[in-house]
Structure 1
Amino acid sequence: MFALTYLVFLAVANAANAATIPTPGRVRTSLNDNWKFSRFTNNPDSLSYNSLKPWLLPQANLFITGTKYPNPSASSPGANIPYVQSSFNDDTWQQVDLPHDWAITGPFGAPGISGGMGRLPTNGIGWYRKTLLATADDISGTKSIFLDVDGAMSYAAVWLNGNLVGGWPWGYASWRLDLTRYLREGNNTLAIRLENAVDNSRWYPGAGIYRNLWLVKVDRMHVAQWGTQVTTPDVSEKEATVKVVVQVENLGGAAREVDVSTRIYAVGDGSGAEAVATIKTVTTAVAAGEKRFVNDSVTVPNPRLWGPPPSQTPHLYLAVTTLSSGSAVIDTYTTRFGIRSITYSPSNGLLINSQRVYVQGTCNHHDQGALGAAYNHRATQRQLQILRDMGANALRTSHNPPAPDLLDLADEMGFLVLDEAFDCWSAGKTANDYHLLYPEWHEADLRAFIRRDRNHPSVIAWSIGNEVQNQESALVAREAIELQSIVHSEDPSRQVTSAMNAATPDHALPATLDIIGLNYQGEYGNYAAFHQKFPDKMIWGSETASCISSRGTYFFPVHSGNNNRYSAVGSSDAAARYISAYELADPGWGDSPDAVFVAQERFQPWVAGEFVWTGFDYLGEPTPWGGQGGSRSSYFGIVDLAGFPKDRFWLYQARWRPEKAMVHLLPHWTWPERVGDVTPVHVFSGAEEVEVWVNGVSQGRRKKSGKGVYRFRWDEVKYQAGEVVAVGYKDGKEWGRDVKKTAGKAAALAVSVDRAVIDGDGRDLAYVRVEVVDDKGTMVPRTNNTVEFSVAGPGKLVATDNGDPTDMTAFPSASRRAFSGLALGIVKAEKGAKGKITVTVRGDGLIREGEVVVTAQ
């Protein structure tokens, strides 16, 4: 038993992304590779959700507490459709690997798809087919074979060998189907149908099986789906209580007795196979077709606590639960968790392990830019690394459950997560959004979501909704009460919020919630009004700022204050659809970062922090140009769609990482048409003083002019070619500097890569950054040269981008126009490849090309 547990520990702790994770009694295998796919813009099979619903609704029964949905007595539909038959010839279909987003390859301008949804062809019906091989042991009657789907957009229905097994309509849900009774020895045909309507979202939802797919083989007696709950009700530096609840499921034909034991291991502490604590073995009998809970707790001495950097460390533990009979291991189930305490203080904000942690968070949609909604581990890791460098310590999953892998990364990196369920309840925001599913599916969707995510230490609170309609109504308050009670019943250890943009302190909705979450209200003084009304509730800004800008573009004159509307003079070029990167403009409902910082500081310490809208630009919602002929992606991001930081990045870094010796000045200094014109210089830095020189002439040394000022401004500087230098000082000593030089004519390309070595698994990514430079190596900030990517060796170009919301070039294109001097290429290795991948970039009209080498291993 000891040796088996050690192997499990190593498999899970060191091979989280392996295709197959073996554990004694349980095998979980990736089903991501080698699918056949076809998309249809017209219905090819005469099916619909309404015709399939009677066979899909019973899947919700495991997650609802009231009246169960009956199993239909009639034969299930779809058995005669060619696509579900093993005899169907799918040679003409596209071969794809999962996760897969059928819409991201474009083209832009898809008929009927709004700018809000990104103008990409998400609509239609998609069919996926794959052959599964089953052994005699698989169908022996002693095993259960499950299909686990992390996410499929949307209205999924699954057939195995022509039999409708079930499905799940909500595209953001994770769910399981039992394939056992339809499986046969040898080849089996698995077919999955998805259907996306137009107007099913306010942002780009993606399309297809866009998260991971798994095949799970276990004994008929096993730990149930999401069948453990680990909590740490008492935590100190000396010891911690770890409570483990295990749900044992018996899908066999007879009652069985089983021994349940759990050992706790510290992940990554170098202690090898030694358990830090063991929960005593409990013997329980489970009747056929039933489930039983086994509860117990254990004390972990000298616990290594999970907490957010930089003041704390995200230590992790692993609970290894074993079901056995005598010396035979029946099932092994692993649960990664953290030991930490959370306090929601009305007077002092959020406390993790009794330490106040100011929430420096961003809201984030689920797409990964040019890769679309198809989950990729490296793409998500890169996004989080960029946010961490800025100083962010928290994420809000706007406005839906994320891929479960994102929470794994958050656990490892120490991000705090506000885990959000819904964008709407019974009242919708678009014609075909979640309000159509809410009456029959909200309980099952919410309970499944909580059970899936509740063991993640990164999750610090649950959000049941975002800016739901009719926040003043009694109906909405009743819906909130129901939803919050569901969350509490599944996880009493965390508090619940809903992001409110319209509710007032006197409305019923905020009174129902554990945490007051305010969208854009704090900047107008409403923090105080809500705090006075609800002195026993923690408050934070669940959505703040909504500042909009286009990276590297600047317009004049510059507003004299630190907040502006995008429609005001100097803030935008409406014809070109660009917004000034002086980072002062908001769309009307939000504010500049500066104004938000003022409100946050004004109400310290009891305001717990903020979640900025947004960390990254995202596909869809191109406010203010979402109409006909408008842009493809948002302007809200602190970082653009390609992952290039906007100037705002350093404004947040100066506030969120004040200890970092950093000076950032703007704008660029290539303005041949502005000689002698006022061209304001702004500096973002945590320095106490900053001095600016233009061509060696000081423009003055300035201090931050007191509380509430977050940028240094020289609004009277007149442009002349040359260089502008900003030097920051702290304690009277130079602390950092930044230089902008006037660029000459574009002459060459400076090419670099984020990582020189990647895995040769066909999924790991290298991000190639391209700068257009002059003959002295200075980036040319206003160039739009077209660059062409080519790849030699065992790799391929996945996508290109430039962060320009107006660029309608399809993402797979090897040709990409530079935007504000930058372009991006995303490269991966061929599956199973090893060796050197050479990426060459050539520029239209440029003398010198650029090249980088990436090694696949």
Structure 2
Amino acid sequence: MTRILYVFLFFLLSTASFGQNQRQISFNEGWSFSLADELQFRREAYNDSKWKQVSLPHDWSILSDFGSQFPAGNAGGALPGGVGWYRKSFQVATKDKGQHISIHFGGAYRYTEVWINGQYLGKHTNGYLSFSHDLSPYLYYGGKTNVIAVRVDNSQQPNSRWYSGSGIYRDVYLRYQQQTHFFSEETFVSTPTVSAKKATVRIQSQVHNPGNKKLQVELRLLDATGKPVATGKVDLRTDKIDHTLTLDKPQLWDVDSPELYSLHMLVRDMQGNELNAQTQRVGIRSIAFDVERGFSLNGKPLKILGVCLHHDLGALGAAFNKSAAKRQLLMMKAMGVNAIRTAHNPPATEVLDLCDELGILVYNEAFDMWQKKKNKFDYSQDFKEHHLTDLAAFVKRDRNHPSVFMWSIGNEIREQFDSTGTVLTKEMANFVKALDNTRPVTAALTETNYVKNFIAQAEALDVLGFNYKFEDYDKLPKEFKNVPLIASETTSGLQTRGVYDALHDTIQFWPASSKDKFVTNGNADFTVSAYDNVAAYWGTSHERAWLEVKKRDFLAGIFVWTGFDYLGEPVPYPYPARSSYYGIVDLAGFPKDVYYMYQSEWTDKDVLHLLPHWNWKSGDIVDVWAYYNNADEVELFLNGKSLGKSSKTDDRLHAAWKVPFVAGEIKVVKYKNGRAVQEAVKRTAGAAAKLKTRITHDDFKTGDARDLYFVEVELIDEKGEAVLHEDIEISFQGSAGVEILGTDNGFQADLRGLSNPARKTFKGKALAIVRVGDAATTKTLLIKSKLGDITVPLEKNK
């Protein structure tokens, strides 16, 4: 099925700041249109006045209900693809004639073609990379209108192993520059020497210099207060810059204190006239890997505590929003994460900006496949022609981010099983190092035998990543001698928040083996128990995966699959399951219980988390767990009576009891040196009587007018206890200027479209994602349900 959309292109001018009302663009959609129509859409004279209004970033696929008829399948999120057309009319002032004006796309999925005033500018084939086009030769100036037309084609499906989204799903803006200007993609700032006493900052760049005029470049490095700490001048007689600044007692960038400097670059002619300026953030830090001791940052050993993250933002789909991304990253940081892996593609540049600011290392990944396909229409069909061009764009775009500490050229690449893997690995690893020799190059592998692993045999990778197969960890240093190692992907544990099935003695594997596409003995309601006791056959439990990495110093760290549930790849179930079960946090952003296991292991926060709920049938034998830290043991009480003490062991990272259910209260008390230091309680809840709301906004503000409000709703009984055993329909309605962008409840098989303002709670919880426009005055949200309507002021957290 082919889907065609018509949309006005909206872009952000780099020299201006726009209110929310100016971000509106026209939009229309349909299912089939003629070739003649498509030929008209690229013409500047076409009348697009009847098209609807949307805003960029934009993902048209997320606006649909989930369905089994879409060719992407449930692995691709059970949502449609198709073809989308975007158009935008704009004017350029006469005074700007002679400037170099280009349009920059942060990303569009998938095949993207661009026209300006009917002139074809080209086609971009990588759905995850940024790209630009020079508009200058074709622009009209003064009062005449220019028209940009963009065609985005995501009709060839399946083309991904997860939900890709469709459309111009990252920001677009115009860039105005003088004819003499810095090539931003050629600017590379590195820190060759770093110590607590002194650091050097190397600046390499290139200037577009028509006529080879004599120029002067001024360099100023400023600290976070704006104070200059190093300056330099370069007389430019070619177009290349290569200059080193030195500063004393640098403030180092690390995961606990991500100090950032600003490098101001200014080019002048010999008369002193300013021609162009560029500002680049700089983080001063050193990284190193050791075969025996793992990873170090600024000379200090650091165990990498990471998660893999896909690019979708839950109910927003692929449409990027910086505050939504910040929410995810801060939740991971609070759990103890110090690194993310961008699985399995380049992220939005704003994600890297956030990681720079928050102190999160980034394992930056380029490809999920090379020449050998994983899906019928995936990137393999473009790899041969475009992989080096795409690698260059990838590295040049991201190499100035201090958070990026490794380049990955592939994930579970099928060429690791034949000799083409050796050739391609050498080619790409050497190509990346020519562009950036300050970071190691890696790939995530599955074959743990050197003789059989042709990617490893290339001996071109600086670090080898291995996915799963923890039982082979101890043989890795023997098979792959003198190469640092990292657990690039682990776990694949499966959980549905708030669901607690009776425990088995061993881990259940759903599906059980590669012979089974789906689980054959799963739950009829498409849920998986939230006890850490179910995994895909290639994985293991969260506890086991972390224990295996924790005790091996030669493994630099771990990347858990995954930090958040994501759209698509709904192992272990077929449709109607439509999103993953792997996340430590569900799709709505509600933590699953295992979140607190990691927090108890990866942070010094005082953690005591008790599970499950305490609403059961009389006679049920309930497994009660407690995750904790900073204590010697914990004690469980049922209605005031002690049921004994329990503690972690060498192979168990939680306390555990089996308890016959009696209504009332269970309480766990944590002891340190014989003294009670913390307690947690679960009580038997009654019927749902009220809605409890929590609004988060300030924590996730980024300074963008598009920052969002996240409204969490929880069912509680008359006494204020959380209700997990009952769910109700609720709906959200904003006051004038308040827009409901999406709703969710975290259930992986809820088929209602995520843009719908109504949602049934799941295990007592639901979420609304809200945007407040410039024109909004009252800024309130009406939440309606059978329990009564409530009006929530958005400007106050509750």
* Change in 2 beyond 3 A, CA 1:503/1:434: farther
- Aligned ranges for residues 134-145 of structure 1 at < 5 Å? 134-139=92-97, 142-145=98-101
Counterpart secondary structure, 1:778 = coil
Counterpart secondary structure, 1:330 = strand
- Aligned ranges for residues 363-378 of structure 1 at < 5 Å? 363-378=308-323
Q: Which residue of 1 aligns with 2:533?
A: 584
Task: Detail structure 1 runs of 4+ shifted over 4 Å in the superposition.
Answer: 18-22, 27-32, 570-573, 756-762
Q: Which residue of 2 aligns with 1:130?
A: 88
The TM-score, its normalising length taken from structure 2, stands at 0.93
Counterpart secondary structure, 1:636 = coil
1:721-778 Cα deviation digits (max 9, x unpaired): 1111111122322232211111101111111211379799751111111011111111
Residues 748 and 849 in structure 1, CA contact (< 8 A), matched pair in contact too: no
Question: How much does 1:172 deviate?
Answer: 0.6
* Change in 2 beyond 3 A, CA 1:178/1:784: same
* Change in 2 beyond 3 A, CA 1:841/1:774: same
Q: Which residue of 2 aligns with 1:190?
A: 148
Quick check: 1:388 aligned with 2:378?
Answer: no
Counterpart secondary structure, 1:804 = coil
1:804-841 Cα deviation digits (max 9, x unpaired): 001011112221110011011111111x2354311122
1:291-312 Cα deviation digits (max 9, x unpaired): x321010111110000012xxx
Aligned length, in residue pairs: 770
Quick check: 1:727 aligned with 2:672?
Answer: no
Residues 576 and 751 in structure 2, CA contact (< 8 A), matched pair in contact too: no
For residues 587 and 689 of structure 1, the distance between their equivalents in structure 2, rounded to whole angstroms, comes to: 32
Counterpart secondary structure, 2:185 = strand
Q: Which residue of 1 aligns with 2:568?
A: 620
Q: Which residue of 1 aligns with 2:548?
A: 599
Q: What amino acid is the match of 1:731?
A: N
Q: What amino acid is the match of 2:601?
A: R
For residues 205 and 337 of structure 1, the distance between their equivalents in structure 2, rounded to whole angstroms, comes to: 32
Residue 183 (structure 2) aligned to one of 209, 215, 224: 224
Quick check: 1:85 aligned with 2:43?
Answer: yes
For residues 310 and 176 of structure 2, the distance between their equivalents in structure 1, rounded to whole angstroms, comes to: 33
Q: Which residue of 1 aligns with 2:132?
A: 176
Quick check: 1:423 aligned with 2:423?
Answer: no
* Change in 2 beyond 3 A, CA 1:100/1:612: same
For residues 418 and 649 of structure 1, the distance between their equivalents in structure 2, rounded to whole angstroms, comes to: 21
1:22-78 Cα deviation digits (max 9, x unpaired): 5xxxx899999343334454464379xxxxxxxxxxxxxxxxxxxxxxxxxxxxxx8
The TM-score, its normalising length taken from structure 1, stands at 0.87
Q: Which residue of 2 aligns with 1:461?
A: 406
Question: How much does 1:217 deviate?
Answer: 0.7
Counterpart secondary structure, 2:432 = helix
Counterpart secondary structure, 1:264 = strand
Q: What amino acid is the match of 1:259?
A: Q
Q: Which residue of 1 aligns with 2:66?
A: 108
* Change in 2 beyond 3 A, CA 1:351/1:224: same
Question: How much does 1:713 deviate?
Answer: 1.1
Q: Which residue of 1 aligns with 2:7?
A: none
Q: Which residue of 2 aligns with 1:752?
A: 694
Q: What amino acid is the match of 2:106?
A: D
Q: What amino acid is the match of 1:210?
A: Y
Counterpart secondary structure, 1:405 = helix
For residues 792 and 175 of structure 1, the distance between their equivalents in structure 2, rounded to whole angstroms, comes to: 38
Residues 191 and 199 in structure 2, CA contact (< 8 A), matched pair in contact too: yes
1:350-384 Cα deviation digits (max 9, x unpaired): 11000111111000000000000011011000001
- Aligned ranges for residues 302-451 of structure 1 at < 5 Å? 302-309=249-256, 313-325=257-269, 326-451=271-396
Q: What amino acid is the match of 1:724?
A: I
- Aligned ranges for residues 680-699 of structure 1 at < 5 Å? 680-686=623-629, 687-699=631-643
- Aligned ranges for residues 452-531 of structure 1 at < 5 Å? 452-506=397-451, 507-511=453-457, 512=459, 513-521=461-469, 523-524=470-471, 526-531=472-477
Q: Which residue of 2 aligns with 1:99?
A: 57
Counterpart secondary structure, 1:137 = helix
For residues 855 and 833 of structure 1, the distance between their equivalents in structure 2, rounded to whole angstroms, comes to: 15
Residues 428 and 434 in structure 1, CA contact (< 8 A), matched pair in contact too: yes
Q: Which residue of 2 aligns with 1:293?
A: 240
Question: How much does 1:798 deviate?
Answer: 1.3
Q: Which residue of 2 aligns with 1:852?
A: 792
Question: How much does 1:266 deviate?
Answer: 1.2
For residues 776 and 734 of structure 2, the distance between their equivalents in structure 1, rounded to whole angstroms, comes to: 15
Counterpart secondary structure, 1:417 = strand
* Change in 2 beyond 3 A, CA 1:180/1:391: same
For residues 39 and 169 of structure 1, the distance between their equivalents in structure 2, rounded to whole angstroms, comes to: 23
For residues 34 and 529 of structure 1, the distance between their equivalents in structure 2, rounded to whole angstroms, comes to: 57
Residue 785 (structure 1) aligned to one of 721, 728, 733: 728
Quick check: 1:665 aligned with 2:613?
Answer: no
Q: Which residue of 2 aligns with 1:276?
A: 229
For residues 780 and 540 of structure 1, the distance between their equivalents in structure 2, rounded to whole angstroms, comes to: 42
For residues 261 and 38 of structure 1, the distance between their equivalents in structure 2, rounded to whole angstroms, comes to: 49
Q: Say which is worse superposed, 169-178 or 362-371, in terms of deviation.
A: 169-178
The CA RMSD over aligned residues, in Å, is: 2.3
Residues 571 and 585 in structure 1, CA contact (< 8 A), matched pair in contact too: no
Residues 43 and 125 in structure 1, CA contact (< 8 A), matched pair in contact too: no
Percent of residue pairs bearing the same amino acid type: 37
For residues 362 and 760 of structure 2, the distance between their equivalents in structure 1, rounded to whole angstroms, comes to: 36
For residues 145 and 601 of structure 2, the distance between their equivalents in structure 1, rounded to whole angstroms, comes to: 59
Q: Which residue of 2 aligns with 1:636?
A: 582
* Change in 2 beyond 3 A, CA 1:281/1:28: farther
For residues 692 and 849 of structure 1, the distance between their equivalents in structure 2, rounded to whole angstroms, comes to: 39
For residues 315 and 299 of structure 2, the distance between their equivalents in structure 1, rounded to whole angstroms, comes to: 41
For residues 391 and 587 of structure 1, the distance between their equivalents in structure 2, rounded to whole angstroms, comes to: 24
Residues 404 and 453 in structure 1, CA contact (< 8 A), matched pair in contact too: yes
For residues 393 and 34 of structure 2, the distance between their equivalents in structure 1, rounded to whole angstroms, comes to: 32
Q: What amino acid is the match of 2:795?
A: T
Residues 261 and 283 in structure 2, CA contact (< 8 A), matched pair in contact too: yes
- Aligned ranges for residues 240-259 of structure 1 at < 5 Å? 240-250=199-209, 252=210, 254-259=211-216
Q: Give the gaps of 5 or more residues in structure 2.
A: 1-10, 513-518
Q: Say which is worse superposed, 641-650 or 343-352, in terms of deviation.
A: 343-352
For residues 654 and 778 of structure 2, the distance between their equivalents in structure 1, rounded to whole angstroms, comes to: 45
For residues 255 and 240 of structure 1, the distance between their equivalents in structure 2, rounded to whole angstroms, comes to: 33
Q: Which residue of 2 aligns with 1:645?
A: 591
Counterpart secondary structure, 2:186 = strand
Counterpart secondary structure, 1:720 = coil
Q: What amino acid is the match of 2:663?
A: A
Question: How much does 1:793 deviate?
Answer: 4.0
Q: Say which is worse superposed, 578-587 or 91-100, in terms of deviation.
A: 91-100
